[in-house]
């Protein structure tokens, strides 16, 4: 209890000074050990955010200050993980003009994002493709396949066609082997990157059995890991239970997307599980109370499955509450955040599988065209910003507790070694009175 009290006292002093000290966030690669993330030998629990727009904005040097501002504001609220896009396929200001043809200016924008994140002690989760048409998505890959003479009848052929899969594998290799023009570090060797994500919310509704997605994740996870053995990998799943987990489908919203939380996350090479949470979309006609009740069950069921079935860490990679919903209030949004954070902290404190949450989405001032209803501008949202900071502080204290316990264990081991050495040196001598 004394160590907890000391940690809380230190935290209060830090908060009063308007500073939130980062805890080794910029050091080393994040790894997994059983149910936990581990950084520099310590369990790593972290609070974070989504900001899909970082590369896009940084590709215009005149707008890079917004990236820096976002990281600065995030760090001051204790946020140490950011999830963002490492894709933009076709269309306006793309990363990939066409299959295998890249835009150096946009790549330099991603270089800046990674470099800047490192300065602020923020780890990155980089997503490599999109299920949806925004920023190209699987549809763009399929269109590229058609332009190469492939007979493709569905956007879901992204997961099946060997030529299209080859385009995607080339993107994986191109991104992972990119040498940062600012830091000089190859992406696959950069510990600022915490994890790769195969795809944002992969869905294959044309095959509700789940076999197509299962095969695709298996193939792509193996390929990515053959290039990069340093970083963690996750699939980008929303957390829906599929036909392989029929007894759990009652926990779903009432639709199927061809994925399965259990089976997909058991694939070798997938290091941790992910869940997205949008009851305001899934149950838009239900009351706030009903949505929160579903959310609470959704969170806890996935924590239990990650802990007892998958035996892997669980990161809640998207959640939020839209201001565009009928009857919206900041209080309702804060309750969603508190519900998610409470489930995460309760699990983390007891040694469970939940390792953190990333809200959707962080903006900084002067980005009105990016507002989607879910945006959090910390300077404009004091109550929500306070909820976010409190969760960051709790996880900070938890991490410092683990650090102190490790130091105590080291001291005890050192003392035992010194005593054994002393006894060995004095064996046979009369050391009594």
- What's the rounded Cα separation, in Å, for the pair 67 and 155? 33
**Which pairing describes strands 36-39 and 42-43: parallel, antiparallel, or unpaired?**
antiparallel
Cα separations in angstroms, 321 against 280, 288, 362: 7, 11, 13
3-class DSSP state of 84: strand
Q: What residues are paired with 101 via a beta bridge?
A: 98
Sequence-distant (6+) residues with CB within 8 A of 45 are 37, 344, 348, 355, 356, 395, 398, 399
Residues in the chain: 433
Burial class (CB in 10 A: 0-12, 13-18, 19+), 219: middle
Cα separations in angstroms, 372 against 194, 276, 290, 362: 26, 17, 23, 11
Give the closest residue to 209 by CA, choosing from 158, 156, 142, 167.
156
Cβ–Cβ under 8 Å, residues 353 and 394:
no
Sequence-distant (6+) residues with CB within 8 A of 126 are 83, 84, 85, 86, 175, 193, 195, 196, 197
- 104 catalytic residue (yes or no): no
DSSP string, 122-151: -EEEEE--BSSSTTSHHHHHHHHHHHTT--
| Catalytically annotated residue among 73, 116, 197, 201 | 201
- What's the rounded Cα separation, in Å, for the pair 269 and 229? 10
Q: Is the peptide bond before 2 cis (omega within 30 degrees of 0)?
A: no
Give the closest residue to 119 by CA, choosing from 189, 164, 68.
68
| Catalytically annotated residue among 116, 197, 263, 318 | 318
Cβ–Cβ under 8 Å, residues 94 and 103:
yes
Structure tokens at 393: 């502080």
- 219 catalytic residue (yes or no): no
- What's the rounded Cα separation, in Å, for the pair 373 and 59? 25
Q: What residues are paired with 363 via a beta bridge?
A: 377
Residues with a known catalytic role: 201, 318
């Amino acid at each position: 209890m004394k160590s907890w009290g000391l940690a809380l006292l230190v935290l209060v002093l830090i908060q009063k000074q308007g500073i939130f000290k980062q805890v080794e966030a910029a050091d080393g690669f994040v790894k997994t050990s059983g149910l936990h993330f581990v950084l520099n030998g310590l369990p790593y629990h972290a609070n974070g955010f989504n900001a899909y727009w970082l590369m896009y904005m940084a590709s215009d040097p005149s707008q890079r200050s917004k990236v820096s501002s976002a990281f600065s504001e995030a760090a001051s609220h204790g946020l140490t993980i950011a999830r963002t896009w490492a894709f933009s396929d076709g269309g306006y200001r793309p990363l990939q003009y066409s299959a295998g043809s890249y835009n150096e200016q946009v790549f330099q924008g991603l270089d800046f994002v990674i470099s800047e994140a490192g300065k602020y002690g923020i780890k990155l989760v980089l997503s490599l493709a999109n299920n949806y048409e925004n920023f190209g998505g699987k549809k763009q890959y399929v269109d590229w396949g058609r332009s190469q003479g492939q007979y493709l009848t569905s956007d879901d052929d992204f997961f099946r066609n060997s030529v299209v899969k080859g385009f995607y594998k080339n993107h994986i290799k191109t991104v992972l082997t990119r040498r940062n023009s600012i830091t000089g570090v190859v992406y696959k060797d950069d510990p600022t990157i915490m994890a790769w994500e195969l795809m944002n919310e992969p869905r294959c509704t044309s095959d509700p059995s789940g076999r197509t997605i299962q095969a695709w994740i298996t193939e792509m996870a193996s390929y990515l890991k053959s290039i990069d053995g340093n970083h963690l990998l996750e699939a980008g799943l929303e957390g829906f239970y599929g036909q392989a987990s029929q007894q759990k489908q009652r926990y779903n919203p009432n639709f199927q997307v061809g994925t399965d939380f259990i089976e997909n996350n058991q694939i070798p090479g997938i290091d941790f599980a992910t869940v997205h949470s949008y009851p305001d979309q899934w149950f838009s006609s239900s009351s706030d109370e009903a949505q929160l009740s579903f959310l609470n069950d959704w969170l806890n069921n996935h924590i239990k499955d990650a802990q007892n079935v998958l035996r892997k860490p669980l990161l809640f990679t998207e959640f939020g509450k839209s201001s565009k919903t009928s009857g919206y209030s900041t209080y309702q949004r804060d309750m969603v955040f508190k519900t998610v954070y409470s489930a995460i902290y309760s699990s983390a404190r007891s040694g469970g599988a939940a390792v953190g949450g990333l809200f959707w989405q962080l903006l900084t001032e002067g980005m009105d065209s990016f507002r989607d209803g879910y945006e959090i501008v910390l300077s404009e949202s004091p109550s929500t910003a306070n909820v976010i900071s409190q969760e960051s502080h709790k996880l900070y204290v938890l991490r410092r507790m683990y650090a102190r316990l490790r130091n105590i264990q080291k001291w005890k081991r050192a003392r035992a070694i010194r005593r054994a050495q002393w006894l060995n040196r004095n064996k046979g001598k009369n050391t009594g009175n």
